[in-house]
Homo-oligomer: A and B are copies of this chain.
Amino acid sequence: MSPAAARPRRRADAERSIARIVSAARATLSGNPEATIDEIAKAAGVGRMTLYGHFPSRAELVEAAVVDALRDGEATLSAVDLTGDARDALARLLDSSWTLLAESTALLAAAEGTLPAGRIRDLHAGPSARVEDLIRRGQADGTFRTDLPITWLVNVVHYVVHGAADEVHAGRMNGSEVAATLVATIHSILVAPSSGRSRQRRPSNP
């Protein structure tokens, strides 16, 4: 009953194939959720049958891709220093992992309909929690707004990150400018409104 390592014996080349397949699945599915098994196999540079040898069904492949991306995400996220000013922490977090966040979100969306809903919720819980914790901390010290439901704040971060990834994918935005844009946008969403609008209101007409 060893928790990981289900099969103690697996040849090195098989290990390699699996790695390439999972990696290709992540890349392909996050761009096109309805990608064919065949497309993924080609992207991985292996034959379709090899793929089926390791993942008996599409569902298992999708799950493996999601788990892998999430594991990666966890690792990256936990390497980020989230202490200090919540705004700075958020900037660091987005800067170093918006691309991973976007991928995970896309993959989870791809899993919709393939994986049972409960499983998706479970898988998504980890990364979400990390973002949520940070937001809560920012709220507690007065940095972040408290006038909107926390669920909404967490999710809107995901939506915006996903949108940014779309912009890059569609070529409307250049990869290097994204991080800064994202940080600025999400800052604006989360930071407490300074004090209402009247401060700098100007009459609409003379």
| CB <8 Å contact, A188 and B193 | yes
* A199 to chain B: closest residue by CB: B194
Count how many chain A residues have C-beta atoms less than 8 Å from C-beta atoms of the other chain: 37
- A162 to B160: give the CA distance in the assembly, Å: 10
Residues 127-158 of chain A, each 1 if its beta carbon lies under 8 Å from chain B, else 0: 00000000000000110010111011001101
> A2 at interface (Cβ–Cβ under 8 A)?
no
CB distance from A108 to the nearest CB of B (A): 13
| Residues of A that sit less than 8 Å from B by CB | 84-85, 87, 141-142, 145, 147-149, 151-152, 155-156, 158-160, 162-163, 166-167, 172-173, 181, 184-185, 187-189, 191, 193-194, 197, 199-202, 204
| CB <8 Å contact, B152 and A173 | yes
List 24 A-B residue pairs with CB atoms under 8 Å apart, sorted by A's residue number. A84-B204, A85-B202, A85-B204, A87-B197, A142-B200, A145-B188, A147-B184, A148-B185, A149-B181, A151-B173, A152-B167, A152-B181, A155-B167, A156-B160, A156-B185, A158-B163, A159-B162, A187-B193, A188-B188, A188-B189, A188-B193, A189-B189, A191-B197, A194-B200
